[in-house]
A and B are shown apart, each in its own frame.
Chain A
Amino acid sequence: GENVEQHPSTLSVQEGDSAVIKCTYSDSASNYFPWYKQELGKRPQLIIDIRSNVGEKKDQRIAVTLNKTAKHFSLHITETQPEDSAVYFCAASKANAGNMLTFGGGTRLMVKP
């Protein structure tokens, strides 16, 4: 089955700096890659996603890049703010597997003011 690895497991940055979280996947049939943000005690929240026919997608301070050949995708957060502190999860879903998501292990991002 699909395997998604996520790095780093923890990331500490200064407010205003950029943060990058990387994920690799194993199944070349995967074609949908969402990112979720989970604050302490809250539900995972979809923040951005990308499909395999697109190389990059941006939404304000957040961007995701996808390299299908290398089977990896990354989340980029610019101008980080304390409210960006949370656990971020990447996930992958493949064609003909419905909405089944395989998640990475998560990255705890801490933004220091």
Chain B
Amino acid sequence: KAGVTQTPRYLIKTRGQQVTLSCSPISGHRSVSWYQQTPGQGLQFLFEYFSETQRNKGNFPGRFSGRQFSNSRSEMNVSTLELGDSALYLCASSLQGQAYEQYFGPGTRLTVT
């Protein structure tokens, strides 16, 4: 099976702009989680979607949002970008919905200038 894919891989945006990142899970996986990775804060949970429903949300401002489509593909959106949003955004997919193996995509490297 193909692994988790994310597009785009690299992105440069300006402060104040908005951005949409996309994640395609492993075929058959219904759970998609998003994480932000930075050198200072490490890996932090953003949110999780399962069967098109957001089940959990991390401690991030409302500028961070997401959704999941009926084919389990997920998107996350960040509005009004700030310099501190520069990070590697990783998504992970899981076959089951509860404390199960998660497999990460390659990430989208977002740089905000």
Contact assessment for B42 and A103 in the assembled complex, using a CB-CB cutoff below 8 Å: yes
Q: Tell me what chain B mostly uses at the interface: helix, strand, loop, or mixed.
A: strand
Which B residues lie within 8 Å of A98 (CB)? 31, 33, 48, 50, 55-56, 97-99
A45 to B3, CA, bound (A): 11
Contact assessment for A101 and B101 in the assembled complex, using a CB-CB cutoff below 8 Å: no
A103 to B58, CA, bound (A): 12
Contact of B90 among A44, A46, A99, A102 (CB under 8 A): A44
Which one of A56-64, A67-75, A77-85, A89-97 contacts B?
A89-97
Q: Assign chain A's interface to a size class.
A: 20 to 34
Q: Tell me, rounded to whole Å, the shortest Cβ–Cβ distance linking B29 to chain A.
A: 10
Contact of A101 among B45, B55, B107 (CB under 8 A): B45
Interface size on B, residues (CB 8 A): 26
Which B residues lie within 8 Å of A89 (CB)? 42-43
Tell me whether B68 is interfacial, beta carbon within 8 Å.
no
A44 to B36, CA, bound (A): 12
Contact of A45 among B33, B97, B99, B104 (CB under 8 A): B104
A and B contact pairs by CB, cutoff 8 A, 25 listed? A32-B100, A36-B104, A43-B90, A43-B104, A44-B104, A46-B101, A46-B103, A49-B101, A91-B43, A98-B50, A98-B97, A99-B31, A99-B98, A99-B100, A100-B33, A100-B45, A101-B33, A101-B43, A101-B45, A103-B35, A103-B42, A104-B42, A105-B42, A106-B42, A106-B43
